Amino acid sequence: MSGNTFGTLFRITTWGESHGPAVGVVVDGCPAGLVLDSSDIQKELDRRRPGQSDITTPRKEEDKAEILSGIFSGKTTGAPISILVRNYDVDSSKYEALRDTPRPGHADLTYREKYGFRDWRGGGRSSARETIGRVAAGAIAKKILGMNGIEVFGHVVELGGIRANSIDIENIHNNTEKNPIRCADPDAALQMEAMIHAARGQGDSVGGIVEVISIGVPAGVGEPVFDKLSAQLAKGLMSIGAVKGVEIGLGFKSSIIKGSQMNDPLAMKDGKPKPLTNNAGGILGGISNGEPIVCRIAVKPTPSISKEQRTVDLSSMTDTRIKITGRHDPSIPPRIVPVAEAMIALVLVDMMMRGGFLETSIMDRL
Amino acid sequence: MSGNTFGTLFRITTWGESHGPAVGVVVDGCPAGLVLDSSDIQKELDRRRPGQSDITTPRKEEDKAEILSGIFSGKTTGAPISILVRNYDVDSSKYEALRDTPRPGHADLTYREKYGFRDWRGGGRSSARETIGRVAAGAIAKKILGMNGIEVFGHVVELGGIRANSIDIENIHNNTEKNPIRCADPDAALQMEAMIHAARGQGDSVGGIVEVISIGVPAGVGEPVFDKLSAQLAKGLMSIGAVKGVEIGLGFKSSIIKGSQMNDPLAMKDGKPKPLTNNAGGILGGISNGEPIVCRIAVKPTPSISKEQRTVDLSSMTDTRIKITGRHDPSIPPRIVPVAEAMIALVLVDMMMRGGFLETSIMDRL
Amino acid sequence: MSGNTFGTLFRITTWGESHGPAVGVVVDGCPAGLVLDSSDIQKELDRRRPGQSDITTPRKEEDKAEILSGIFSGKTTGAPISILVRNYDVDSSKYEALRDTPRPGHADLTYREKYGFRDWRGGGRSSARETIGRVAAGAIAKKILGMNGIEVFGHVVELGGIRANSIDIENIHNNTEKNPIRCADPDAALQMEAMIHAARGQGDSVGGIVEVISIGVPAGVGEPVFDKLSAQLAKGLMSIGAVKGVEIGLGFKSSIIKGSQMNDPLAMKDGKPKPLTNNAGGILGGISNGEPIVCRIAVKPTPSISKEQRTVDLSSMTDTRIKITGRHDPSIPPRIVPVAEAMIALVLVDMMMRGGFLETSIMDRL
Amino acid sequence: MSGNTFGTLFRITTWGESHGPAVGVVVDGCPAGLVLDSSDIQKELDRRRPGQSDITTPRKEEDKAEILSGIFSGKTTGAPISILVRNYDVDSSKYEALRDTPRPGHADLTYREKYGFRDWRGGGRSSARETIGRVAAGAIAKKILGMNGIEVFGHVVELGGIRANSIDIENIHNNTEKNPIRCADPDAALQMEAMIHAARGQGDSVGGIVEVISIGVPAGVGEPVFDKLSAQLAKGLMSIGAVKGVEIGLGFKSSIIKGSQMNDPLAMKDGKPKPLTNNAGGILGGISNGEPIVCRIAVKPTPSISKEQRTVDLSSMTDTRIKITGRHDPSIPPRIVPVAEAMIALVLVDMMMRGGFLETSIMDRL
């Protein structure tokens, strides 16, 4: 397996399995002089970690971040930042029954095809615990962005087919983190929560759509052609487990409207040319235009369901059936929000460094 | 501008502007011993080039590929393959009027923000002519894939809101290239064509959805975590101009169904475990599972429209209006098909090389 | 600081400071199925660690490797392997006196120029402890090479101006690790040891030349032009602290002989064309030719010396003088041997993977 | 063959064979706004091209650079710059005799091992004509450096065992380009020229040592650990054909002196801490310190010699002998000077961009 590194100048490398001793990340390319301690990282890990409500997995993990390098006297030194999170509540007992029966919708069979055998304990490297490294690194990226007036925040816009109502940014700010769904529309949030309970009651699961908005990104970020800002975001978001679609701005809706409806008209505003609408989602020709960058991801329903499913027994090579009883989230979108934010923050910092918008060696402007 | 290179082991670098002397590509990492001549490349360039029907731009370009390196005695040598396509029908006259009035929906303003000034002739580097290098390189990738029993083919599944009817692979093979829309449903194709003419008549344009299917990809391709096959495909596809969304398998539809509906059940077939359905679109955990890989992209309507639009005059910094009269396609989906196929073929060859499925130095099996 | 990652397919990322809590490495791209435990890594760390004799630093570190990921049931899974080594014998007291007086020959001033401030405790990231990650990762690379019949071993050929006598490979194998100098000529080793003691007695230090030989590398490894095997080796070796020169084969000596003396004549041997001599050092045109690959590095004398030296006081910006009294090696060459071997092993595995000589996903041949 | 791309942010991709239709380079990452035309590139190509004196190959090539993209209105646009140089004086007749008899000291056999067959015409991709792309791209890098007060210049310090006398920078500037050897010591240059003629008369060849000095590089350039400035330079220089050794500062000489002699003492000068000597060659801990960066390369004697040599006949797999009669340089050092300068300039621009010393998108300071 290669491909555990993401980014060019601001670059992260993650490691660790669900049921191994620990998971972690090395962040390389963080400039020197950033005031940073583990609380900056903990804040985001706490948003990601399980056990925040009854709609998440019952696995109990404090997910405490230990910073092992790159900080001196409370500031980053420019050296790589190694962050470690120990796994404590490891219980592989439920998984032993599954070692020869690949779970439909999971990576069990594909890992086996690729590597010959696999770490069957809790999904191994394909577990959602892999995202801890992303979120820890993303917390640093978010801090850098925040110091430059950029905010990245996500919310659930659809879950199990229920859509959140017309939501403005004010609302998203105020309401999203107030409910376990991370939905800015409180009424919809209640329905979504009920929907999750109902699905779980039926031994089933539901998916949804998460939107992430980045405000304050200056115009000019992104490298045209292959490293378009939109292309880097698409890669970062599609690399999150359970994501089956990515769209920018109007996305798939743009395919059914006319050019005259899609194009954002331009007009002078405060002495600068500005688009009057934001159908483009803040990116044109792969380069940011200064408007909010709007990304949405389609999150499939959790593949782990207790409903009986057809599968095969790889020891006897015969058909069989399974009911999955390990611990898992009945719906991923609420917990994927901080992960998606992290990936977007990582892309933004990296591409802003590449474009000369952020210092790479020393944060002398702080 | 960095970012004109794509791929790790099978790697392409494209260059060239719409109204410059030429466009081209350097393909690095093609193994030695591949029988190749310019006709292999011309075949795909001919599918991409304008002037194939009255629904494309009237610009006349033969798009003749000249191979300048990497071939000896009719075979690749392992050295980089440089391919050049001269621009002939360059007419910048229509663009001079637009040099200070950025076209809504285009990259005019973002390029200016990023680079201080821009090549206003025909879109410069942000023109669709940039895709010639992708298609030329993709032709080589497709040839390599074809020799390994892998086929990559695309078709228009929706245009201007009109959907193609239930299409099986047989149909797609037989019908897609028979109409200028590249739609496998001949009736829908006629309606789509009429829709394009109607939109153009109104000085407007339409977008659509293109699907690309890859058949024969072995199980095990893709690097989990950041370089998932799905993530690499998403980057490659989202890097094509006018693409605003990417989905794999059921994509956004997966967000509204239950886990029990989404998961592809497994069963033994011909002595091997196989999914009974393909909602995953051939990829699980970022790794191919041997089923057809199904990608769809949302293509926005052509931003160049003759309808009057609001914009700004950058010389006087005042509001103004424009009607765009340059040559352009009224609808991009039909011509984006070979470009999307090329990007997918490039990703597949690169990821298959990384996973050890394809030789990197010498095609000794030929 | 970016640049803490090395390699393309077999890729390592190191982190950690001399006086921080730990140092470590993440190895990405190791194929699944390799039998591996911490003893494989410990073996090489023990060759590198201090305290093996009285010619090394008195710092006491067990340098115990803890593997945190990527292993299951005694075998690699294909997932990244995270290795952690805690720092125990940290004593920063001696360094406090040096925080404002940059040590000549060290990176103190250049780090300060680049990052604005620096971790002055024991050299921080520029300490030789940074090489622990290299050696730990190199141990895995060496194991993979060993299974493919390739051996990489180094020895000190010159130290403080004293040269080892005519050494054949048999001798190097048998004698090198028997003396603390790692010199295959036992008589020279004794003189070198005396030379180190004498230099230390004068508050001074000595450098030397280390040679590393790689036996069994098949012909055809290396990518011509920029990623020549020789170029990758040069980068890897020159990236080790204290290395000021790299040469392959006859190296600098090749500049003073004639072409007819330099060229290795070819002749048939056992049915294959073979060079009769190895002036090229196993590489021609950047590609291995099947002969032993011979690299030599020039190692400067330890910059930390107790002799008085001129420097500046950065707090008062005046001239001053220092005597360095921290713990350090009086001569680096003996301890750099396993580091140089590691870098070469890492390059070989990576380039052999790129050339298709080693599996990237699964070691099915084991 | 992969590996035809060099650099991270300022990145070049070269292509082309000695006896193919053309050679060239794509330069990606050049910022917009640089005044550039083909004369900037021609100037350096003219220094590299053959036929400047009777000590170079008699091959007649004008090496005229054609810029195909990336320039508009006399300035770079930020888009990739594609440069093409046609091959005219192609004469493969002499090489046909050599197609089955690999030339000792050349890459003939290693290419064959790697790629199964090879382009035997004039060395194909392993020919010195491959360096045209490097020099063309290096000319752009040099122009950028020059605008930032940085100069990179090389000279021959040793040839065929003859050393140039004590040379100061003034002398190098004034004298180097005045003689065909590119030696700053005019007396030594005459002896070297005689040495070349003598060697050629004997059907033999000579090598030498080239030194390149970079003046004006600010302190702080280079990424510690693997991407040290010294490591990147070593890779770039060792990637040039015929180079067998690289050293920085005192290089191999540093291995025989004491620490107290090697360390450059520091003292205040004009209000800044400065080293009093430059044994380090301008780099400490992989980071530039503001002093001249001094690199030296060992260049082996031209492997093509007319003296009879032992080789093998690959068609009959028997021993044989050859005399090489194609066109070639009897001594490479004089012509390698601009190539080495180019590689160093490319490394400096790339690493300065990575460290934030140079703009990546727009040269707004011009």
Report the distance separating Cα D102 and Cα D179, nearest Å.
34
Contact flag A251-B236 (C-beta cutoff 8 Å) = no
Report the distance separating Cα D283 and Cα D298, nearest Å.
20
Instruction: Report, as an integer, the average pLDDT of A184-197.
Output: 96
Contact flag A255-B300 (C-beta cutoff 8 Å) = yes
Residue B225 has pLDDT above 80, yes or no: yes
pLDDT in tens, A279-314: 999 999 999 999 999 999 999 999 999 999 999 999
The 3-state secondary structure of chain D, one letter per residue: CCCCEECCCCEEEEEECCCCCEEEEEEECCCECCECCHHHHHHHHHHHCCCCCCCCCCCCCCCCEEECCCEECCEECCCCEEEEEECCCCCCHHHHCCCCCCCCCCCHHHHHHHHCCCCCHHHHHHCHHHHHHHHHHHHHHHHHHHHCCCEEEEEEEEECCEECCCCCHHHHHHHHHHCCCCCCCHHHHHHHHHHHHHHHHCCCCECEEEEEEEECCCCCCCCCHHHCHHHHHHHHHHCCCCEEEEEECCHHHHHHCEHHHHCCCEEEECCEEEECCCCCCCEECCEECCCCEEEEEEECCCCCCCCCEEEEECCCCEEEEECCCCCCCCCCHHHHHHHHHHHHHHHHHHHHHHCCCCCCCECCCC
User: Where residue D1 falls among pLDDT bands split at 50, 70, 90?
Assistant: low
Q: Which chains are within 8 Å of A by 3+ CB pairs?
A: B, C, D
B122 close to B328: Cβ distance less than 8 angstroms: no
Angle between helices D333-354 and D131-147 (to 10 degrees): 50
Report the distance separating Cα D336 and Cα B126, nearest Å.
38
Contact flag A284-B249 (C-beta cutoff 8 Å) = no
Beta bridge partners of C310: C321
> How many residue contacts between A and D have a Cβ separation below 8 Å?
23
- Give the residue from chain B lying closest to A354, CA to CA: B2
pLDDT in tens, C330-356: 899 999 999 999 999 999 999 999 999
How far is D58 from chain C, CA to nearest CA, in Å?
Answer: 19
More confident residue, A217 or D363: A217
- Give the residue from chain D lying closest to B25, CA to CA: D26
Residue C337 identity: V
pLDDT in tens, B89-105: 877 777 777 889 999 99
* Length of chain B (residues): 366
- For chain D, the average pLDDT equals 93
Partner A contacted by D9 (CB < 8 A): yes
B6: nearest Cα among B235, B231, B293, B210: B235
DSSP C363: -
The residue segments making up the domain with residue C332 are 5-364
Q: Reduced to 3 states, what is the DSSP secondary structure of residue C182?
A: coil
How far is B74 from chain D, CA to nearest CA, in Å?
Answer: 11
Contact flag D114-B362 (C-beta cutoff 8 Å) = yes
pLDDT in tens, C48-62: 987 777 777 777 888
Scored b (16 or more CB within 10 A) or e, D212-247 reads bbbbebebbbbbbbbbbbbbbbbbbbbbbbbbbbbb
Query: How far are the Cα atoms of A243, C44, D57, D225, D293 from residue C10, in angstroms, in the given order?
Result: 28, 19, 41, 17, 32
- Segments in chain C forming alpha helices (H): 38-48, 93-96, 108-115, 131-147, 169-175, 186-201, 229-238, 259-262, 333-354
C148 close to C216: Cβ distance less than 8 angstroms: yes
**Chain B contact set for C354 (CB, 8 A):** 9, 360
How far is C223 from chain B, CA to nearest CA, in Å?
Answer: 9
A330: nearest Cα among A211, A124, A192: A192
Residue C366 has pLDDT above 70, yes or no: no
Partner C contacted by B4 (CB < 8 A): no
pLDDT in tens, B229-241: 999 999 999 999 9
Contact flag C110-D276 (C-beta cutoff 8 Å) = no
DSSP per-residue string spanning B211-241: EEEEE-PPTT-S-SGGG-HHHHHHHHHHTST
pLDDT in tens, B339-363: 999 999 999 999 999 999 999 998 8
Q: What does the pLDDT read at residue B366?
A: 38
How far is B36 from chain A, CA to nearest CA, in Å?
Answer: 26
**Of A41-55, A234-248, C151-165, which gets the smallest average pLDDT?**
A41-55
Partner B contacted by C220 (CB < 8 A): yes
C136 close to C44: Cβ distance less than 8 angstroms: yes
pLDDT in tens, D252-271: 999 999 999 999 999 999 99
Residue with tokens 């690699």: C76
**Chain D contact set for A356 (CB, 8 A):** 356, 359-362
Q: Which chains are within 8 Å of C by 3+ CB pairs?
A: A, B, D
Q: What does the pLDDT read at residue C122?
A: 77
How far is C-alpha A166 from the geometric centre of its chain's CA atoms? 23
Identify how many contiguous H helices and E strands chain C contains and give both numbers.
9, 18
Residue C39 has pLDDT above 90, yes or no: yes
**Chain A contact set for B273 (CB, 8 A):** 102, 109, 311-312, 314, 317
C326 close to C121: Cβ distance less than 8 angstroms: no
Backbone angles phi, psi at B287, to 5 degrees: -120, 140
Residue with tokens 């897609």: B176
Contact flag A9-D354 (C-beta cutoff 8 Å) = yes
Q: What does the pLDDT read at residue A92?
A: 77
> How many residue contacts between C and D have a Cβ separation below 8 Å?
384
Scored b (16 or more CB within 10 A) or e, C287-308 reads bbbbbbbbbbbbbbbbbbbbbe
Instruction: Report, as an integer, the average pLDDT of D222-242.
Output: 97
Residue B216 has pLDDT above 70, yes or no: yes
Residue D57 has pLDDT above 80, yes or no: no
Residue B318 identity: T
Contact flag C361-B360 (C-beta cutoff 8 Å) = no
- Give the residue from chain D lying closest to B119, CA to CA: D72
Q: What does the pLDDT read at residue C169?
A: 87
Q: What does the pLDDT read at residue D167?
A: 75
Closest by Cβ to C205, choosing from D4, D259, D302: D259
Report the distance separating Cα D251 and Cα C245, nearest Å.
5
Q: What does the pLDDT read at residue D198?
A: 96
CATH number at residue C17: 3.60.150.10
Report the distance separating Cα D97 and Cα A129, nearest Å.
63
User: Where residue B20 falls among pLDDT bands split at 50, 70, 90?
Assistant: very high
Contact flag C312-D6 (C-beta cutoff 8 Å) = no
Residue D366 has pLDDT above 70, yes or no: no
Query: How far are the Cα atoms of A63, B290, B325, C322, D323 from residue B93, in angstroms, in the given order?
Result: 62, 51, 10, 72, 61
Partner C contacted by D280 (CB < 8 A): yes
Partner D contacted by C132 (CB < 8 A): no
Instruction: Report, as an integer, the average pLDDT of A325-342.
Output: 90
Residue D365 has pLDDT above 70, yes or no: no
Q: Other C-beta atoms within 10 Å of D106: how many?
A: 22
Q: Reduced to 3 states, what is the DSSP secondary structure of residue B143?
A: helix
How far is D361 from chain A, CA to nearest CA, in Å?
Answer: 6
**R_g over Cα of chain A:** 21
Contact flag C223-D311 (C-beta cutoff 8 Å) = no
Instruction: Report, as an integer, the average pLDDT of D196-219.
Output: 97
More confident residue, C134 or C364: C134
Partner C contacted by D236 (CB < 8 A): yes
By DSSP bridging, strand C151-159 and strand C208-215 are: antiparallel
Mutation pick from C357, C361, C363, C364 vs chain B, by most beta carbons of B within 10 Å, is C361
Percent of chain A with pLDDT over 90: 83
Report the distance separating Cα D142 and Cα D131, nearest Å.
16
More confident residue, B163 or A90: B163
Residue D195 has pLDDT above 90, yes or no: yes
Partner D contacted by B125 (CB < 8 A): yes
Query: How far are the Cα atoms of C58, C163, C182 from residue C190, in angstroms, in the given order?
Result: 21, 11, 11
**Chain B contact set for D117 (CB, 8 A):** 32-33, 75, 77
D209: nearest Cα among B330, C251, B6: C251
Partner B contacted by C360 (CB < 8 A): yes
Residue A366 has pLDDT above 70, yes or no: no
Closest by Cβ to D361, choosing from B13, B80, B115: B115
The 3-state secondary structure of C81-111, one letter per residue: EEEEEECCCCCCHHHHCCCCCCCCCCCHHHH
Six token digits for residue B345: 């073929």
Q: What does the pLDDT read at residue A49?
A: 87
Instruction: Report, as an integer, the average pLDDT of C262-280.
Output: 97
Six token digits for residue C280: 């090229």
Contact flag C354-B220 (C-beta cutoff 8 Å) = no
Report the distance separating Cα C256 and Cα D207, nearest Å.
6
Report the distance separating Cα B176 and Cα B10, nearest Å.
29
Contact flag D361-A361 (C-beta cutoff 8 Å) = no
How far is B353 from chain C, CA to nearest CA, in Å?
Answer: 9
Report the distance separating Cα C254 and Cα C256, nearest Å.
6
Q: Other C-beta atoms within 10 Å of D266: how many?
A: 26
- Give contacts of D 163-192 with C, CB under 8 A: none
Contact flag C115-A16 (C-beta cutoff 8 Å) = no
Count: domains in chain A = 1
Beta bridge partners of D67: D83
Closest by Cβ to C116, choosing from A13, A70, A364: A364
User: Where residue D35 falls among pLDDT bands split at 50, 70, 90?
Assistant: very high
- Give contacts of A 55-94 with C, CB under 8 A: 68-70, 72, 75, 77-82, 84
Q: What does the pLDDT read at residue C84?
A: 97
C353 close to C223: Cβ distance less than 8 angstroms: no
Contact flag B354-C220 (C-beta cutoff 8 Å) = no
- Segments in B61-168 forming alpha helices (H): 93-96, 108-115, 131-147
Beta bridge partners of D219: none
Contact flag A114-B318 (C-beta cutoff 8 Å) = no
Contact flag B360-C356 (C-beta cutoff 8 Å) = yes
DSSP B97: T
Instruction: Report, as an integer, the average pLDDT of C144-165.
Output: 97
By DSSP bridging, strand C293-299 and strand C243-248 are: antiparallel
pLDDT in tens, D81-132: 999 999 988 777 777 778 899 999 999 999 999 998 777 777 889 898 999 9
Query: How far are the Cα atoms of A31, D249, D262, D295 from residue D280, in angstroms, in the given order?
Result: 26, 5, 8, 10
